[in-house]
Amino acid sequence: MTAEYEITKEDLSSFNLYHHYHSPTARGHYLRSWLVPAFILLLVCAGIWHLADRGRGTPLRTFLDLLPLFSSVPLYLIYFPWAYRRKIRKIIAGMVSEGQNRSLFCRHRVAISPEGITDSGELDQTSTAWQAVERVANTDDHAFVYTNALAAIIVPRRAFSSAADFDQFVRTASDYHKKAIADQRIGKD
**Number of independent structural domains in the chain:** 2
Residues 83 and 18 in one domain: yes
Please, how many CA atoms are within 13 Å of residue 162, restricted to the half-sphere of its CB? 3
CA distances from 141 to 42, 60, 74, 119, 187 (A): 38, 50, 31, 19, 36
Residues 86 and 108 in one domain: no
Comparison of pLDDT for 7 and 189, the residue scoring more: 7
Residues 80 and 130 in one domain: no
Q: What confidence tens digit (pLDDT) does each residue in 34-88 have?
A: 999 999 988 988 888 878 777 777 777 777 878 888 888 999 999 999 998 898 8
Of the candidates 63, 96, 129, which is a domain's last residue? 96
Residues 23 and 89 in one domain: yes
Q: What confidence tens digit (pLDDT) does each residue in 139-172 have?
A: 999 999 999 988 999 999 999 999 999 999 999 9
Host domain of residue 71:
13-96
Predicted TM-score (pTM) of the model is 0.76
Residues 92 and 117 in one domain: no
Residues 110 and 178 in one domain: yes
Q: What confidence tens digit (pLDDT) does each residue in 100-145 have?
A: 777 778 889 999 999 999 999 888 899 999 999 999 999 999 999 9
